Amino acid sequence: MLHKHLFKKYFIPSVLFLAGALLGGFLLFYIDTTFRISKIEMSGVSLEEKNNLIYTLKGLSSLTIQQPEIKKMINSRYPTMIVGEVAIHYPNSLIIAIEKEKPLAYLKTDKGYIALSKSGSIIMKERTETIPSPSLIFYQSLSHSEYQMGHHMGFAAINRALIFISLLEGEGYRVETVAIDSVDMIACKTKGFEIAFSQTRPVDLQIHEVRQIIRQIKVGALQVERLDLRFEKPVVQLPKK
């Protein structure tokens, strides 16, 4: 009788505990495997980039991973990618929309050029003597090997030049060349006219002046061969007759 009593007291609860532990372990295993990312849809990237990112993201837990973490992981692999939509579809799917920054200008280096985005990020490097348009020439010699993909251009003059290129192209003028040939002047040549921007005058003021003059050009009230914004008031050089 004592054995039967001990059997009921200890064995059955132990079996129930073991069964519960096994069931709990199986349940945890099932949840863990079910909610691991296994399906990834991605747009805006090449096949090679997609495969690399799938390798990075596949197997993550959809229960614990957050959208900012996914964006950070993508940017750590490809710094120049702009991650738009990130949608987690439970239990195991990801949908990601990616855009690539486009080159705004091509900065000459000692061995070729580096392509810069609108924000000043380096998105491409090439060793070649031929520089695409719009080419950007800096008055200091730049070492090609010093700058890496994804890094941001640190020169204030170059970042200002990118703002002015974006301004002119937004107004419909294709910039051909940009020369930063001194500590003050940023010279932009378009198919329509040339503009000498200042490195020291406020950027917003120069943008306002350019837009006012371009407005007059577009309505036929003014013809311009060269515009100089380095002085207190814009200096307009008219075409030769």
Q: pTM (2 decimals)?
A: 0.72
Do 138 and 213 share a domain, yes or no?
yes
Cα distance between residue 108 and residue 90, in whole Å = 48
Do 7 and 61 share a domain, yes or no?
no
Contact, 128 vs 113, CB < 8 A?
A: yes
Cis before residue 234, ω within 30 degrees of 0? no
What is the CATH number for 73? Answer: 3.10.20.310
Does 2 have pLDDT greater than 50?
no
User: How do residues 131-149 score in pLDDT, each as one tens digit?
Assistant: 899 999 999 999 999 998 8
Do 233 and 147 share a domain, yes or no?
yes
Do 30 and 44 share a domain, yes or no?
no
Do 72 and 173 share a domain, yes or no?
no
Do 59 and 24 share a domain, yes or no?
no
Do 188 and 153 share a domain, yes or no?
yes
User: How do residues 170-221 score in pLDDT, each as one tens digit?
Assistant: 999 999 999 998 778 999 999 889 999 999 999 999 999 999 999 999 898 8
Could you tell me which of 193, 125, 122, 201 has the C-alpha nearest to residue 162? 122
φ/ψ of residue 231, rounded to 5? -110, 180
Do 223 and 141 share a domain, yes or no?
yes
Average pLDDT across the chain, whole number: 87
Amino acid 125 reads: K
Domain holding 227, by residue range, is: 105-237
Do 51 and 160 share a domain, yes or no?
no
Do 190 and 119 share a domain, yes or no?
yes
Contact, 190 vs 169, CB < 8 A?
A: no
